[in-house]
Chain A
Amino acid sequence: MKQSRFQISGETREIELSPLIDMVFILLIFFIVTTVFVDESGFSTAQSRPAKPSDDDKPPLTFTVLPNNVIEYEGRPIGLAGVAAQVRNQPNRRQRPVIIQVASGGKSGLAIQAMDQARAAGATLVNFAKAR
């Protein structure tokens, strides 16, 4: 007796799963390979400026980052710890803006650490600037 090929063992046939599993594995490997787990820590430089910049009684504390890992405040070299100490000495340090000035040749690592020290000491308005 002739049988249609669509009716061969129609009752016992199961769905072929292997291609599905293959495809799912390929997708899985693709996503494993392309997944990038970005895990950065750091701080925001988007410091809001004071509402009234013309507060003449609160001039910004300006630290200058010079070459050879030197930080100056009012012409005197102070260390990284000196930045924190200077900020902490201000009675109104939360409102007092701090400017990290970078002179030509100053390293960015030191500038970032100076900003970090100022923030750790309680300053909230810390900005970078180029020294003229």
Chain B
Amino acid sequence: MKQSRFSQAPALQGINVSPLIDMVFILLIFFIVAAVFVEEPGVEVRKPSTITAEKLEKDSILLALTDTDDIYYGGENIGIDGVRPLIRRLLRTKDMPVILQVDRDADGQTLVRLIEEARLSGGKVSVASKLP
């Protein structure tokens, strides 16, 4: 007797999950590789727009200077005096550049002081900006 190939042993057939597992593994490996564990400053700053901006490194120390002249790292207000010990400690484990996310209404002299502090701690300092 001829049987349709769609009706072969219909009760015993399960869904084939191997492609699903393959895909999930590929996604998993992608996210593991792409994961950069960077502490974000956790505050919103309005960056100034510039025309000569270039791409900055992904693996870096991100500090934010807000419009109220507070300095944030990892969601905490560390203050200007906390910058030097923090960068020293982080650079001891790994050499990373320092990226400053500066609000355009932040005090300029605080920015100058922050750049000096970060440079004195041994970091290569960049200022984040947005392209117009």
21 A-B residue pairings within 8 Å (CB atoms): A24-B25, A25-B24, A28-B24, A28-B27, A36-B37, A38-B36, A40-B128, A44-B97, A44-B124, A45-B126, A46-B124, A46-B125, A46-B126, A65-B108, A102-B111, A103-B109, A108-B102, A108-B110, A112-B102, A128-B112, A129-B112
Q: A120: CB under 8 A from chain B?
A: yes
Q: Enumerate chain A residues within 8 angstroms of B65, measured Cβ to Cβ.
A: 108
Contact (Cβ within 8 A) A44 B125: yes
Secondary structure at chain A's binding surface: helix, strand, loop or mixed?
Answer: mixed
Q: Which residues of B contact A (CB under 8 A)?
A: 17, 20-21, 24-25, 27-28, 31-32, 34-38, 40, 47-56, 58-60, 62, 65, 97, 99, 101-113, 115, 119, 124-131
Q: Which residues of A contact B (CB under 8 A)?
A: 17, 20-21, 24-25, 27-28, 31-32, 34-46, 65, 102-113, 116, 119-120, 128-130
Q: Enumerate chain B residues within 8 angstroms of A111, measured Cβ to Cβ.
A: 108, 111-112
